[in-house]
Amino acid sequence: MGIKGLSKLIQENIGDVSAVKETALKGYFGRAIAIDATMCLYQFLIAVRHASGQLTNADGETTSHIIGFFYRTIRMMENGVKPIYIFDGKPPDFKEHELAKRKEKRDKAALELKQAQADGDAAKVTQMEKRLVRGSQEHVKDVQALLTLMGVPWYHAPGEAEAQASRMCAQGVVYGTGTEDMDALTFGTTKLVRRLTDSEAKKRPCMEFDLGKVLEGMELTMAQFIDVCILCGCDYCPGIKGVGPKTALNMIKKHGSIEAMLDAIKELPKYVVPENWRYQKARELFVSPDVTDKADLPKFSWDLPNEKGLTEFLVEKMSFEMSRVTRGIDRLKACRKKGKQKRLDNFFKVVASPAGKGKGKKGAKGKKGAKGKLAGKKRSRKQAGTGNTDSGQPKNKRAKTKK
């Protein structure tokens, strides 16, 4: 679920437009991105479908998720993206209320599905079927086997996938976190990339959120941002009745914290605080989630595909056409060569000019400032003839040219 209304709240309340930007997929060339595999699994199960339902193999087993992971991963890698898929581990016990709510919704959808089938309402049937889709452990194992054969790295997190991906981003293991769940920002990812696994047919650019610029634009500390997210409503606890995203932001800006806000609204009947509201525990789970830190992570690598194993897996087990698998493998091998190329910004370092250089005590317009500027020009001319390597030519060669 993530955080209710957070994307819209951010976009409506940031002064710096660069905090949220749209970037073409190829703009992430050479970037390693930790992707929420559990989110992808659900997306592919409901999105990659036949007109009559999910795609299956000869034994009737669902293959929609395999098709999604195979072709969307190839598409990302052809654009130079270096994906690392992160799978969910054990959810925190504190998330039980959210899991119970999801089960209740599925039970309701199952009843509505039966009614829609009886009524012959095809559109409603499709809608309810999507709500009932769940990724099983067998689905997860199939995807992990596929990724291994493709030479694409993956990691099974001890806790939640978006929390692990966010920690990897914050610690510099990857450039960003690829997920649709906005709570990756609450977990501290410095870059959140949405729409990364979209199909090419959608023709939508990726949407990137920069956490540092978001905090600056919303005029919040990280602690205050987490409190806003909790008030919006998260997976760990419900929000306060009567407090939506806008009110949550305004209240935290005014009072500074949930504790101070609760003191201010305790006499106001329009705000209903949930009984035994354990917001402190939710805050703790966002600040200190169950994750593996950088020092204990394995070394991730993007390898050549196992052609024989991948062919057997896709053709014999998943009933893919041999010609399609062969083309896919050829594309993967070509991606491997492309993956060795580096981004241009890896070769250049931007260095800020020293403030006030060439200025005297009276500034640039004063006499001393003018002298300083003239002296700077003389120094530049002198350097040009004595081997200054800013021009990219070796010192001894420049000296020889001067003679």
**Reduced 3-state DSSP string for 164-203:** HHHHHHHCCCCCEEECCCCHHHHCCCCEEEECCCCCHHHC
d(C-alpha 339, C-alpha 285), whole Å: 36
Q: What is the dihedral of CA 69, 45, 140, 286, to 10 degrees?
A: 100
Query: Are 238 and 274 in contact, with CB atoms under 8 Å apart?
Result: yes
Question: What is the sign of the dihedral through the CA atoms of 294, 299, 303 and 308?
Answer: negative
Q: Where are the domains of the chain?
A: 6-220+304-343, 222-287
- Residue 32 is classified by DSSP as E
Contacts 24+ apart (CB under 8 A), 321-328: 328/70, 328/71, 328/74
DSSP string, 321-367: -HHHHHHHHHHHHHHHHHHT---GGGT----PPPTTTT-BTTBTTSH
Cβ distance 206 to 24 under 8 Å? yes
What sign does the CA torsion over 254, 256, 258, 259 have? negative
Q: What CATH number was assigned to the domain covering residues 222-287?
A: 1.10.150.20
Question: What separation in angstroms does the CA of 219 have from each of 13, 19, 185, 248?
Answer: 9, 13, 15, 14
Structural fold of domain 6-220+304-343: Rossmann fold (3.40.50)
Structure tokens at 311: 């062919």
Mean pLDDT in runs of 10 for the chain (403 residues)? 90 88 96 96 76 64 90 96 96 67 70 78 71 80 98 97 98 98 97 94 94 96 98 91 95 97 92 92 95 98 96 95 96 81 58 43 42 44 39 39 39
**Residue 175's CB: how many other CB atoms inside 10 A?**
20
Closest of 303, 302, 325 to residue 67, by C-alpha:
325
| The pLDDT value given to residue 9 | 97
- Report pLDDT for 25: 96
CB 70 within 8 A of CB 152: no
For the question of whether the overall pTM of this predicted structure is more than 0.75, the answer is yes
CA gap 239, 70 in Å, rounded: 38
Q: Where are the beta strands (DSSP E) in 70-112?
A: 82-87
Within the chain, what is the greatest distance between any pair of CA atoms? Answer: 95
Query: Is there a contact between 149 and 305 (Cβ–Cβ < 8 Å)?
Result: yes
| Lookup: tokens for 174 | 């990857």
